[in-house]
Structure 1
Amino acid sequence: MTRASISLRPDNATDLLIDGKLIPGSGGTFEVVNPATEEVIGQAAEGTSADMDAAIDAARRAFDQTDWSRNHAFRAHCLRQLRDALLAHADELRELTVAEVGCPTFLTHGPQLVGPITDLGYFADLAESYSWTTDLGEASPMGIKNRRELRAEAIGVVGAITPWNFPHQINFAKIGPALAAGCTVILKPAPDTPWCAALVGKVIAEETDFPPGVINIVTSTDHLLGAQLCTDPRVDLISFTGSTDTGRKVMAAAAPTLKKVFLELGGKSAFIVLDDADLGAACSMAAFSVVTHAGQGCAITTRLLVPRETLGAAVELTKNAMAGLAAADPTRPGTVCGPLISARQRERVEEYLRLARDEGGVIEVGGGRPADQEKGFFIEPTLISGLDNSARVAQEEIFGPVLVIVPHDGDQDAIDIANDSPYGLSGAVWGTDPDRINAVVDGVRTGTMGVNGGIWYSADVPFGGYKQSGIGREMGVAGFSEYLEIKAVATPV
């Protein structure tokens, strides 16, 4: 159906989306703050436990009492409708996303906005092209001839709990494949970035044909609502992205109901430079990567491993590159490093900088708040040297524009250092010899690896980690499959 285009600018406060209706939060509203200016830019609906209960009930009914899970073509239609409507609002969403998230504007042309919206089309196509049944042919167990087939079916009601750093990308990486698979969804976004979810809810309610209850969005500052999703027996799967510590709590909360849990968690990824690499290009890329969006990305490479004999040169090259990427207004053209999301997050990063000094580290560049930024939650791009891989700043996820440079003594030592981490989410290697590069790629226990600047992010590429970086994969056919159950059917011949 065709509807008139709406304005996404909140006049007062955004609403919850529950059972197909836009409604105020039962708890009133809470403030939305621009992290670059520290100004309150609006209000979001404060959802309560009662609101979450209503959203779960709506999703359960929509799954159990409609043909949503079986009507593959209609699901594809709704997802394409949402993609097209959001792209029509791209300029509004770009301005509001930069204001709420604090991300540099250039990122909204990629993973902060347009990329994830476009990815909805991939999952719409997958809903139509996926092999929902698989013929296993005939067999004769116990002498009885049977024809067997496998049927892929939606797992049911999905509770999606998402963070603030790349809200559109992570929201759509969950709701896109879940809806395409035939699930119904309750999305609980981070309280730091509620508009990125709530405004999508407005588009869904007013410009698409999604049936009531299929997708519900509950914004709130109450983290107990996430726990409510985890414990409620009406929810069949929890898809969570966030810190490893919180991921453990999600698993524990979901355990009594034995619901499936998908976890995309933390990282402390290594950027490995081999001794035959272009050192200047590698160090420049490592610097650019770690300051992008102020380092607020779980897959960002935050440990730079360089040959010991070139450590001094690598420090100078990386320091100079980071000095040219100053923290600045995210709306200014050319800005790569914007603010951190909140005062709380800035204090966390500052504590790690104090810790690095206490452990004997050298702050080669940065190390504090920029002198030219009177407002905003900014931290200077910072390079730390003088520590080995056992230091806490080399082991723990900081989530800021902070890079730790560590020397290695050859390819195998670099692999060993990269693997000396509780995480295994991402990584990079720079070199010239293909055999040595492949040995590093094979040796590092991580979910993704970029070679000489290669970019793995795409709708069709599964994303996830080893070890304490998570369970399962997001995106691609593997991510789509997370939302499916397999039913075996046998019929006598």
Structure 2
Amino acid sequence: MAEQNKTPQTREEWLAYADSLTIEGRAFINGEYVDALSGETRPTVSPADGRELVQVASCGPDDADLAVKVARKTFESGIWSQMPPMERKKIMVRFAELIEANLNEIALLESLDAGKPISDTINVDVPGAVTTIRWSGEAVDKIYDEVAPTGPNDLALIQRMPLGVVAAIVPWNFPLSTTCWKLGPALATGNSVILKPASNTPLTAIKLAGLAKEAGLPDGVLNVLPGPGSSLGKALGLHMDIDCLTFTGSTEVGKTLTEYSGQSNLKRTFLELGGKSPNIVFADADLDKAAEAAALAVFYNQGETCTAGTRLLVEKSIAGEFIEKVKKASARFKPGHPQDPATVMGALIDRNQFDTVEHYVSKGKEEGAQVVCGGAAADAVEGGHYYQPTVFRNVTNDMTVAREEIFGPVLVAIEFESEEEAVQIANDSIYGLAAAVWTQNISRAHRVARDMRAGSVWINNYFGGDITVPFGGFKQSGNGRDKSLHALDKYCELKSTWIDIS
């Protein structure tokens, strides 16, 4: 059950541990690991070096139908949906404890599958997942329903009821974190869940399913279906017996899933999508701190981060000085083997993503942007796809590299002269996921934060926040919210019951 092994300390120890693992690649339906009904599998490979990790079940529409039937039957049985919140809480907390007890294995699976540095998965991703599941469970028996203020002869009850069957489709850049952002509130509020991990990063989701069962989650409440979005994801989006679809991924796919909702049963569709987030630095900011944060904001997780501060807006009077500081701060993000504890930037997920980054870097050069550093592949590990941290300057906001989400380690610096111009540039985007402002002027900080159209705004920091604050975007960055008590509301229906007591 609990993992008692000492945490490996070197790349060699982590790779030896990986060789000792028996990795599960089957789907999880009705409390059991099972093959896809078709028997089909596909390999999942390590972004670090391209080697095959395991053959994973390749589920399709028939598997979706089976999982939905199981989830619906389980939901209607009431074994979970009508379990007292305090009892659900105990199972959720136990689930979190088991994730924590298996820290090393889950962190390694996440690093192997997604190319993320092991230092991040063991210190950030897995602890964050534990917090999310535990917090969601602890919250659910502390949320009260309501009694409306009626006259003396009436009694009106307002109750939160679980939605039913929830399909969760999660991305490959933060597979574990986003999975738990969905599972925590959806399970805590009593729903049955069908989880579709990204087809190239399914391993931690598959592992979590077994731990949830071990924690006491009834069979059929959580089902995990690995498989391609083109067939399995479409089947879930169009399914007539799924009540809610929650998705994190690209804006393009999010629009398609919204169309599927309209073509089927108008299932609720909650979307956390792309971003091109502005990071505004004024001349009076703490420039050293802001420069370190600006590099982290875009190079963390190889730049494969929806909230990445990819548009660096710098006040003109300090632009040259500040961009040099960012260049210096970027040097520590040297790509390396993801299973090396010293690595701070790992491998891009696959060749397609590498080619995408190369395309945008070439486009930036063609449009007249100046390469300050990077701009080419990194020679890190044979067989993997690595890219140097790249900074452009002399960028205008109408350039392709300033308009479109690259999802790689590419930063574009745009100069501004006034507060009004900075806000105008920041908001001149189809996206509105996140933004940041750096200044010592408290009034300016509040004005700019107020005026920026973004779901999260950070003042004198980047990536701030925890499970207590909601996460999501404005405009084409999506709708709905993950994290916080607001996330629990997404997975509930409101029922009004009016009683005549005259």
The aligned residue for residue 25 of structure 1 is 36
The aligned residue for residue 247 of structure 2 is 240
1:90-129, aligned counterparts within 5 Å? 90-129=103-142
Is the CA contact 1:13–1:45 (under 8 Å) kept in the aligned structure 2?
no
Is the CA contact 2:168–2:245 (under 8 Å) kept in the aligned structure 1?
yes
The aligned residue for residue 46 of structure 2 is 34
Cα–Cα, structure 1 residues 152 and 317, in superposed 2: closer, same or farther, change >3 Å?
same
Query: AA paired with 2:303?
Result: G
The aligned residue for residue 224 of structure 2 is 217
The aligned residue for residue 49 of structure 1 is 61
CA shift, 1:372, in A, is 4.7
CA shift, 1:390, in A, is 0.8
251-260 or 217-226, which deviates more:
217-226
What is the distance in 2 between the residues matched to 1:379 and 1:108? 20
What is the distance in 2 between the residues matched to 1:455 and 1:384? 22
1:55-70, aligned counterparts within 5 Å? 55-70=67-82
192-201 or 63-72, which deviates more:
63-72
Query: AA paired with 1:53?
Result: D
CA shift, 1:450, in A, is 1.4
The aligned residue for residue 135 of structure 1 is 147
Deviation by residue 1:343-373 (Cα, 9 ceiling, x = unmatched):
1111111111111111111111101111354
Question: Out of 484, 487, 498, which is 1:490 matched to?
Answer: 498
CA shift, 1:216, in A, is 0.4
The aligned residue for residue 85 of structure 1 is 98
Query: AA paired with 2:57?
Result: A
Say which SS state the counterpart of residue 14 (structure 1) adopts: coil
Is the CA contact 1:111–1:166 (under 8 Å) kept in the aligned structure 2?
no
What is the distance in 1 between the residues matched to 2:141 and 2:305? 32
What is the distance in 1 between the residues matched to 2:217 and 2:48? 35
Say which SS state the counterpart of residue 223 (structure 1) adopts: helix
The answer to whether structure 1 residue 253 and structure 2 residue 260 are counterparts is yes
What is the distance in 1 between the residues matched to 2:59 and 2:102? 25
The aligned residue for residue 474 of structure 1 is 482
Cα–Cα, structure 1 residues 456 and 197, in superposed 2: closer, same or farther, change >3 Å?
same
What is the distance in 1 between the residues matched to 2:327 and 2:381? 21
The aligned residue for residue 15 of structure 2 is none
When normalised by structure 1's length, the TM-score is 0.95
- Identity rate of aligned residues, in percent? 33
CA shift, 1:105, in A, is 1.9
Is the CA contact 1:137–1:149 (under 8 Å) kept in the aligned structure 2?
no
The aligned residue for residue 431 of structure 1 is 439
Cα–Cα, structure 1 residues 41 and 313, in superposed 2: closer, same or farther, change >3 Å?
same
Question: Out of 169, 187, 191, which is 2:177 matched to?
Answer: 169
CA shift, 1:185, in A, is 0.3
Query: AA paired with 2:304?
Result: Q
The aligned residue for residue 14 of structure 2 is none
Question: Out of 460, 467, 472, which is 1:464 matched to?
Answer: 472
The aligned residue for residue 178 of structure 1 is 186
Cα–Cα, structure 1 residues 407 and 222, in superposed 2: closer, same or farther, change >3 Å?
closer
Is the CA contact 2:186–2:488 (under 8 Å) kept in the aligned structure 1?
yes
When normalised by structure 2's length, the TM-score is 0.93
The answer to whether structure 1 residue 226 and structure 2 residue 237 are counterparts is no
Query: Structure 2: where are the runs of 5+ without partners?
Result: 6-17
Query: AA paired with 1:388?
Result: T
1:153-164, aligned counterparts within 5 Å? 153-164=161-172
The root-mean-square deviation of aligned C-alpha atoms, in Å, is: 1.8
CA shift, 1:13, in A, is 4.7
1:290-439, aligned counterparts within 5 Å? 290-439=298-447
Deviation by residue 1:228-279 (Cα, 9 ceiling, x = unmatched):
1111111000001000010000000011311111000000001100121122
The aligned residue for residue 151 of structure 1 is 159
Is the CA contact 1:272–1:430 (under 8 Å) kept in the aligned structure 2?
yes
CA shift, 1:455, in A, is 4.7
Is the CA contact 1:109–1:115 (under 8 Å) kept in the aligned structure 2?
no
Question: Out of 16, 24, 27, which is 1:16 matched to?
Answer: 27
Say which SS state the counterpart of residue 113 (structure 1) adopts: helix
Is the CA contact 1:48–1:222 (under 8 Å) kept in the aligned structure 2?
no
CA shift, 1:6, in A, is 11
166-175 or 194-203, which deviates more:
194-203
Superposition misfits of 4+ residues, deviation over 6 angstroms: 3-9
Query: AA paired with 2:95?
Result: L
Query: AA paired with 1:271?
Result: N
Question: Out of 273, 276, 283, which is 1:268 matched to?
Answer: 276
Cα–Cα, structure 1 residues 50 and 288, in superposed 2: closer, same or farther, change >3 Å?
same
CA shift, 1:475, in A, is 0.8
What is the distance in 2 between the residues matched to 1:77 and 1:25? 32
Deviation by residue 1:448-469 (Cα, 9 ceiling, x = unmatched):
1111126533111100000000
Question: Out of 77, 82, 88, which is 1:75 matched to?
Answer: 88
